[in-house]
Structure 1
Amino acid sequence: MTTHERTEEMALREKLAGGDAPIGSWVSMGSPAAAEIVGDLDFDFVVVDTEHTPLSVESAGELVRAVDAAGDTDTVVRVPENDATQVKRALDLGAAGVMAPRIESAAEAEALVSAARYPPEGVRGVAGSRANGYGARLDESFASANDAVAVLPQVESAAGVEHAEAIARVDGVDTLFVGPADLSADLGCFGEYDDPAFRDALERVLDAGAAADVPVGTLATSPAEIDAWHDRGLDYLIAGTDIGYLRRGARSASERYASQFRE
Structure 2
Amino acid sequence: MHIPHNLFKRRLHERVQQFGAWHTMGGGQQAELLAAAGYDWVLIDSEHGAMEVTDVLAVLQALSGFASCAPVVRIAENDTALIKRHLDQGAQTLMVPMVHSAQAARAAVAAMRYAPEGARGMNSITRASRFGAVSDYVAQAASELCLIVQIESRAGMDALEEIAAVSGVDAIFIGPADLAADMGYPGNLAAPEVEAAVLDGFARLKALDMPSGIITLDEAALRRYIAAGSRFTALGIDAAWLMAAARASLARFQDI
Taking structure 1 as the reference length, the TM-score comes to 0.88
Contact 1:155 1:177 in 2 (8 A): yes
After superposition, residues 230-249 of structure 1 pair within 5 angstroms as: 230-249=226-245
Q: Give the whole-Å Cα distance in 1 for the aligned partners of 2:244 and 2:170.
A: 32
Instruction: Return the letter of the residue paired with 1:133.
Output: R
**SS of the residue 1:254 aligns to:** helix
Q: Give the whole-Å Cα distance in 2 for the aligned partners of 1:203 and 1:29.
A: 30
The reply to whether residue 136 of structure 1 matches residue 138 of structure 2 is no
After superposition, residues 31-50 of structure 1 pair within 5 angstroms as: 31-50=27-46
**SS of the residue 1:23 aligns to:** strand
Q: Give the whole-Å Cα distance in 2 for the aligned partners of 1:117 and 1:40.
A: 32
Q: Give the whole-Å Cα distance in 2 for the aligned partners of 1:153 and 1:61.
A: 21
After superposition, residues 82-97 of structure 1 pair within 5 angstroms as: 82-97=78-93
Residues paired across the two proteins, number: 255
**SS of the residue 2:136 aligns to:** helix
Question: Which of these residues, 177, 193, 197, is aligned with residue 197 of structure 1?
Answer: 193
Q: Give the whole-Å Cα distance in 1 for the aligned partners of 2:75 and 2:131.
A: 22
Instruction: Return the letter of the residue paired with 2:61.
Output: R
Q: Give the whole-Å Cα distance in 1 for the aligned partners of 2:164 and 2:72.
A: 19
Q: Give the whole-Å Cα distance in 2 for the aligned partners of 1:200 and 1:39.
A: 32
**SS of the residue 1:53 aligns to:** coil
**SS of the residue 2:42 aligns to:** strand
The reply to whether residue 110 of structure 1 matches residue 128 of structure 2 is no
Superposed displacement of residue 83, structure 1: 0.9
Question: Which of these residues, 112, 119, 125, is aligned with residue 115 of structure 2?
Answer: 119
Q: Give the corresponding residue for 1:15.
A: 11
Distance of aligned partners of 1:242 and 1:11 in 2 relative to their CA distance in 1, 3 Å threshold:
same
Q: Give the corresponding residue for 1:208.
A: 204
Question: What's the CA shift string for 1:3-29, capped at 9, x where partnerless?
Answer: x96x74332112112210111211110
Superposed displacement of residue 228, structure 1: 4.5
Root mean square deviation of aligned Cα: 2.1
Distance of aligned partners of 1:158 and 1:112 in 2 relative to their CA distance in 1, 3 Å threshold:
same
Superposed displacement of residue 84, structure 1: 1.0
Paired-residue identity, %: 33
**Structure 1 portions without partners, runs of 5+:** none
Question: Which of these residues, 62, 68, 75, is aligned with residue 72 of structure 1?
Answer: 68
The reply to whether residue 182 of structure 1 matches residue 182 of structure 2 is no
Taking structure 2 as the reference length, the TM-score comes to 0.90
Instruction: Return the letter of the residue paired with 2:10.
Output: E
Which range is displaced more, 157-166 or 17-26?
A: 17-26
**Structure 2 portions without partners, runs of 5+:** none
Superposed displacement of residue 170, structure 1: 1.2
**SS of the residue 1:69 aligns to:** coil
Q: Give the whole-Å Cα distance in 2 for the aligned partners of 1:253 and 1:41.
A: 21
Instruction: Return the letter of the residue paired with 1:135.
Output: G
Question: What's the CA shift string for 1:93-131, capped at 9, x where partnerless?
Answer: 211211111111111111111111223332212212111
Question: What's the CA shift string for 1:115-158, capped at 9, x where partnerless?
Answer: 11223332212212111112222x33222210111100000000
Question: What's the CA shift string for 1:159-216, capped at 9, x where partnerless?
Answer: 0000011111111211110111111001111232332331232133213312321022
